[in-house]
Structure 1
Amino acid sequence: MLNDLLIYQIKTNDTLTSIAEEIGMSSQELLNFHNSNCQKVGLLWFNGLAGIEKIVIPKNYKSEAQIRKEIDQSLPSQNLAPAFFAASYHCKESFLNAGEKTMNLEYEVEVALRENEEESSSGLIASVKCFSFKKDGRTPDDKMSELSISCIDSINPLLFDVAIGGTIKGIPQFKKLAETFAAKRIELEDFFTGEVSQKYMDKFAGILDNEAYFLSQIQSTLLYQLLFPKMDFFYQRKAKLEPFCPVKNSFPADFLFETTYEHVSEQHLKTIMSGKIAEAISLPELLRGRRSGEEPEEALEAGIILKYTTDKETKELQNAKALITLQQDGELYKEQHIELRKN
């Protein structure tokens, strides 16, 4: 800490204001700085310069405006760009429900972003592929898990219409998903036999026939909310209400988010977005996926923390984390973690 301090020798005609202006501080900021640090270098506390020969000044002072400018220059663009994503990430997820054992998932995520070439669109097309799933450190070997993964693989990679501002807004050529699965289902049925497997594939095919439902599933999944945030989140200077889905297949609730920053290194900046639920809804409403329209007897307590580590120069996403906690009556109901780390 002493390396950040300098001892300044008072000269004739010096005033607290003139010294402060040279540094880029206000006189009150300089006074407070000296009085907070003077004992570290053996100097006295003071109220004015009368009779004072030396004061403590900061070695490398930066005003709030300077700090904010440096942060803004280090942040990704407010318009999502292909350079924001690395080619692939390793993903870890954990799910903790009250009274149950924590479930841990690991998988790989490949991401590619390109301009939408349609003349009528000003957005982007994202390609996302999730694969190499592991559950609690092992490749799932039960039939239903294998079937679920095989169904997902059959339509990989997924394509999304993404707004310039960052969020998923649609599924391009959605009908092709159903056609692709129908073609590959023939092979799946040769391996996954039996009534239970048939019912599962019927259900999966049904989801691919309902574009609105499929899109709501994607938009409410924590992975995709983390991967495709509103890019202006990174620039919020004040607390702001934003919608977020804390439960998959449910409605977005209003959360009050605040954004802070941490310089991880000279190369990397961490942006931290912390949100608390800002509307009165109950846990049953959220689990049902629809609001009752009535004031709940016990309002849900919910919190979200999103953390993004980006390269200051290239603006590329290096690491992203999310934590969701849901509490009812002061007791934990659910906790979900997810982390994406660049490969």
Structure 2
Amino acid sequence: MQSTGIAGPLSSGKLRIAAPLAVIGLLTSGCFGDSDSQGGAEPGRLAENVSLDDAKFTVGSKEFTEQLILCEITAIALQSVGADIERQCGLAGSDTTRTALTSGNIDMYWEYTGTAWISYLQHTEPVDGPDEQHRAVAEEDEADNDIVWLDYAPFNNTYAIAAADGIIEEYGVTTLSDYADLANSDPAAASLCVNSEFSVRNDGLPGVQESYGFEMASNNLATLEEGSIYNAIGKSDPCNFGMVATTDGRIQGLGLTVLEDDNGFFPVYNPAVTVRKPVIDEHPELAEVLNPIAAALSTEAMQQLNSEVDIDGERVEDVAREWLRSHGFVGD
């Protein structure tokens, strides 16, 4: 299944116990091959002050839609400033992709701050705040593993609870505190769809209930496969509310509203390009090319890009190229 996925437990392994490492060569049906097979990119404003004509990089990613889009955005952007790019987009899972980076099989890929902090650096609790989490993971990963973190994007691919717009209007629920009040006063109206992992994780339902002061009875709780939850809450059947990933394109495509996490319970998972230190030491211009791209990737922008692929059926490379063009990063 090619799903937008959340930045970890649902599709890419965030905060989960590390699975046995797959062979690096075990790849999914992502975009693999050299730059010639993918086509070049005309120079745009990224090329105004940067040239990487003498450089060659291997760009990788995990296998879910969001990561494939980020991989293609990175590859096209670097091609636009003259770099020769080999793509390894769509590696099979977080562990494989991280190992590809640390072993030198790829030079860079987008990773999520919370994923690296807990899954790779083996901390048990996230750091509060996006700036603080990024700073902590960047300092430790460079010192211990020679991995450099570029600027993080503002979008946060984490857990959330959402409902169809009509349900939001009917019950006047816009925050998780509102939802907790509804769950305590009208449990049937607050019926909730989750997947099996979310139902037992500390950063899932048990933690949400403790943080917001409610408890779902089993008869108002349905356990579904991740991909089924979006359609279920879009139709309000069998649940009015459900667990989602905040950048999933189906949020826009199905007319869902994400409840505000007003207690700040869910951990932060901002993505940033991670680069092997020898690579960026040789080509510090990489930051000048990729940091402006990160700054432009809001949650709404990433939802839209994911939706164009997963809902509208557009090709990843077309979606990535058009987004870069629309911001003037590359030329027509």
TM-score of the aligned structures, taking structure 2 as reference length:
0.24
Greater fraction helix: 2
Q: Which has the larger radius of gyration?
A: 1
TM-score normalised according to structure 1 size:
0.23
